[in-house]
Structure 1
Amino acid sequence: MRKIRKAIFPAAGLGTRFLPATKAQPKEMLPLVDKPLIQYGVEEAILSGIEQVIIVTGRGKNAIEDHFDISFELEQLLREKGKLDLLEQVQEISKINVSYVRQKQALGLGHAVLVARELVGDEPFAVILGDDIVDSKVPCLRQMIDIYERYGRSVIGTARVEGEAISRFGVLAVDPIEDRVYKIRDMVEKPPFAEAPSNLAIIGRYILMPEIFDLLEKTPKGAGGEIQLTDAMRALLREQAMYAHEFSGIRHDAGDKLGFLMATVEFALQRPDLGPEFRAYLKSLVL
């Protein structure tokens, strides 16, 4: 059983749904309360036992690299002003082992995973989509790694989506094998509501076996002229068993404006320094 040591974070997209805010800054750096979106996923990975974070970037993403780098001037300023709590937070961010690789063409999620192949090597790995923020007591990826360690195969994160909204997701056809764990029979990308095989949607958490790389290289461009990760996963499913885990926790779609606002409210209310005053403010609103 090979340990899951590396996690890929695709972060080369243009973030057009958040324009004009993302015209000059990466979507991944938009603050959710006081931390950029991508930091939530990276912290989840570290708490799950990941040793190396691999961020797939593109043009205009330098702010991501700066965020996880050492900032001597800022640290010195915080030290001189006695703001040691903030200094500790800044230093913790720069201690994370982060590597970067460029996706020079916007050819989709499957291609983003493929360009990280040399950094991953021949070992199973995780993929985390920073848009999907999962609020849970046990980190979502840690839950999935536990399943991987039981079955030794790829594990896909899934959540139930009711109604016609399921058509916005990849959807799984499954057989249940234990509580919240399923063996995957098939997966369909964004099916019409009437044709969806279940209400179990693929969300932005994956543990994949290294054989996926060879399949991604052979995968033709699919929907939108992009290399779809789902197409390669279906090919992998024909070769070996794959599992799905219906994780425990609340998923926030922070890649959507409404989802981002809802996540901001939820996380702000949980903060001991902000929650009470913010809750009182919300109650005072005339809606």
Structure 2
Amino acid sequence: MENAQTDLTTAVFMARGLGTRMRKEAAGVELSSAQSGMADRGLKSMIDVGRPFLDHVIGAAADAGISDVVLVIGPEHEEIRRYYGELPRHRTEIRFAVQERPLGTADALLAAREAVGDRQFLLLNSDNHYPTEALAALRRTPGHGLVGFDPRGLTERGNIPAQRVRAFALIEARDGQLVDIVEKPDDATLARLGDARVSMNCYAFAPSIFDHAAAVQPSSRGEYELTDAVRGALAAGEPFAVIESDAGVLDLSQRGDVAAVAAALAGREPVL
């Protein structure tokens, strides 16, 4: 019988990033003045694709049963705070957690610790529009879990080029459980893991993940990496269920993504 757990209603969205790739000009890409303004500032989740992209992202989570939204933002992101403070909402409460400096994904997670408390929660990117059915499956996962996306599904049913997918973290799983997760896989790792599924930071976490995130040391890039917190939890014997999804994901990380994402979301009216 399928696990009927439905008491997970909190989702944390990481919206603090610098948007370095989005800030870069792209030859042949035409954006509106409003879109360019957000792109120039790296506020990719607020780029207008009929509505701000983050509206669609939150709306998909609400469709999956999420009603408590925590946005991890920077102290300078008053525009995001003001927009969601004024936006009429019917299904979600939106709160904010401040990440003082962009020190990496594990640090973004820690910024939400007080807001989340001792509840299980989802942790998601703010520049990815995830399939609602995958988010709903995560809500039914006790403890830790993550979605393992099929690379072919991301390219054929989403907007993500295969070359970009090759740079995503690879999931090594056995019998539906996470064994390891490899960030920035090299060619040897890609060859070893073959058709492994990939992670797009679509997680369910028990609150114990915060202790593992607090123990993370800076990586070679000088950032506190979420994958290191996950590895810490695995090393402590905490299991991670892997939810397989063949669906597509909309990725809004570069200027060249805007037109495809806008076309895919045309006619949709997210309800928050």
**Is the TM-score greater than 0.5?**
yes
Which residue identity is paired with 2:144?
A: S
Query: Which among 182, 193, 211 is matched to residue 187 of structure 2?
Result: 193
Deviation at 1:26, TM superposition (A): 2.4
2:206 corresponding residue in structure 1? 209
1:10 corresponding residue in structure 2? 14
2:259 corresponding residue in structure 1? 261
Deviation at 1:27, TM superposition (A): 2.1
CA displacement 1:69-111 (0-9 Å, x = unmatched): 23xxxxxxxxxxxxxxxxxxx5337x63111121111110110
Q: Distance in 2 between matches of 1:132 and 1:2?
A: 23
Query: Which among 152, 155, 159 is matched to residue 149 of structure 2?
Result: 159
Contact 2:138 / 2:147 at 8 angstroms: preserved in 1? yes
Q: Distance in 2 between matches of 1:265 and 1:2?
A: 32
CA displacement 1:201-245 (0-9 Å, x = unmatched): 101311011111011111101142110000110111122111111
Superposed CA RMSD = 2.4
Aligned pair in 2 of structure 1 residues 118, 4: CA closer, same or farther (>3 Å)? same
Q: Map residues 106-145 of structure 1 onto 2, 5 A cutoff.
A: 106-134=102-130, 136=131, 138-145=132-139
1:73 corresponding residue in structure 2? none
Contact 2:150 / 2:246 at 8 angstroms: preserved in 1? no
Aligned pair in 2 of structure 1 residues 215, 6: CA closer, same or farther (>3 Å)? same
Q: For this pair of structures, how many residues does the alignment match? A: 239
Contact 1:140 / 1:248 at 8 angstroms: preserved in 2? no
More helix by share: 1
SS in 2 for 1:225: coil
Which residue identity is paired with 1:155?
A: G
SS in 1 for 2:201: strand
Aligned pair in 2 of structure 1 residues 195, 54: CA closer, same or farther (>3 Å)? same
Identity of aligned residues (%): 23
Deviation at 1:261, TM superposition (A): 2.6
CA displacement 1:54-73 (0-9 Å, x = unmatched): 11111432221122123xxx
Contact 1:175 / 1:183 at 8 angstroms: preserved in 2? yes
Contact 1:172 / 1:202 at 8 angstroms: preserved in 2? yes
Q: Distance in 2 between matches of 1:24 and 1:109?
A: 20
Q: Distance in 2 between matches of 1:39 and 1:272?
A: 11
Deviation at 1:165, TM superposition (A): 4.5
Which residue identity is paired with 2:59?
A: E
Bigger relative CO (Cα 8 Å, ≥ 6 apart): 2
TM-score scaled by length of structure 1: 0.75
Structure 2: give runs of 5+ residues left out of the alignment. 24-35, 153-161
SS in 1 for 2:221: helix
- Structure 1 runs (4+) deviating above 6 angstroms are none
Aligned pair in 2 of structure 1 residues 272, 55: CA closer, same or farther (>3 Å)? closer
Q: Distance in 1 between matches of 2:53 and 2:10?
A: 19
Query: Which among 237, 241, 244 is matched to residue 242 of structure 2?
Result: 244
SS in 2 for 1:35: coil
Deviation at 1:167, TM superposition (A): 3.9
Q: Distance in 2 between matches of 1:234 and 1:216?
A: 10
SS in 1 for 2:148: strand
SS in 2 for 1:128: strand
1:170 corresponding residue in structure 2? 169
CA displacement 1:118-176 (0-9 Å, x = unmatched): 11111211111121113x4x443112223x0xxx2311112122666554111111124
Q: Distance in 2 between matches of 1:272 and 1:161?
A: 25
Aligned pair in 2 of structure 1 residues 2, 255: CA closer, same or farther (>3 Å)? same
Structure 1: give runs of 5+ residues left out of the alignment. 71-89, 177-181, 274-287
CA displacement 1:19-63 (0-9 Å, x = unmatched): 26334472221012x111211221122222223111111143222
Q: Map residues 34-183 of structure 1 onto 2, 5 A cutoff.
A: 34-70=50-86, 91-92=88-89, 96-134=92-130, 136=131, 138-146=132-140, 148=141, 152-161=142-151, 165-176=164-175, 182-183=176-177
